[in-house]
Amino acid sequence: MANQRHNAILEIIDEKQITSQKQLEAELEKRGFKVAQATLSRDIKALGLVKQPFYKTIDKIDESENLNLKAVSKLLRQAFVSSDHAGNITVVHCHAGYAQGVCAGIDGLKIKDIVGTIAGDDTIFILMRTQKDAKMFSLKLEELCK
């Protein structure tokens, strides 16, 4: 069911400029998918959608349903504002509306030094295993996005 719903979401955003989750929820309902807001939020994250000012795909998702490094790098270069670290946390600042898509992409890379991530609208907190990991990841992001 999730795959069918994901396909429907991708079709909808291809056909229309969807500017809100509420609008996307209504379009899904027209196609026979009754979905809760929390489920829709998870779907948006799983599909790696970004909103600016309407939802669109970042790039194609590979066979394992994870964003590949090339797609994440491309998105990072578009979204990245700055990064910094404190202790074992890396903070990434993005342009408004990009953080959740970037965060989903970083999660999809399954980097062993990352314990977990959380994203808002324009900021991502990345919990790293060590202070050194946080510093190195922040420096790699800065270098990648020059």
Per run of 10 residues, the mean pLDDT along the chain (length 146 residues) is 85 84 93 92 80 53 47 83 95 92 85 93 95 92 82
Question: Could you confirm whether domain 2-57 is CATH 1.10.10.10?
Answer: yes
Residue 135 and residue 114 in contact, taking contact as beta carbons nearer than 8 Å: no
What are the extents of the domains in the chain?
2-57, 73-144
**pLDDT for the residue numbered 69:** 67
Residue 9 and residue 28 in contact, taking contact as beta carbons nearer than 8 Å: yes
Distances (CA, A) of 120 to 20, 37, 91, 104: 16, 17, 11, 12
Residue 120 bridge partners (DSSP): none
**pLDDT for the residue numbered 86:** 96
Query: What's the CATH architecture for 73-144?
Result: 2-Layer Sandwich (3.30)
Distances (CA, A) of 50 to 7, 64, 103, 140: 16, 20, 11, 23
**pTM exceeds 0.95:** no
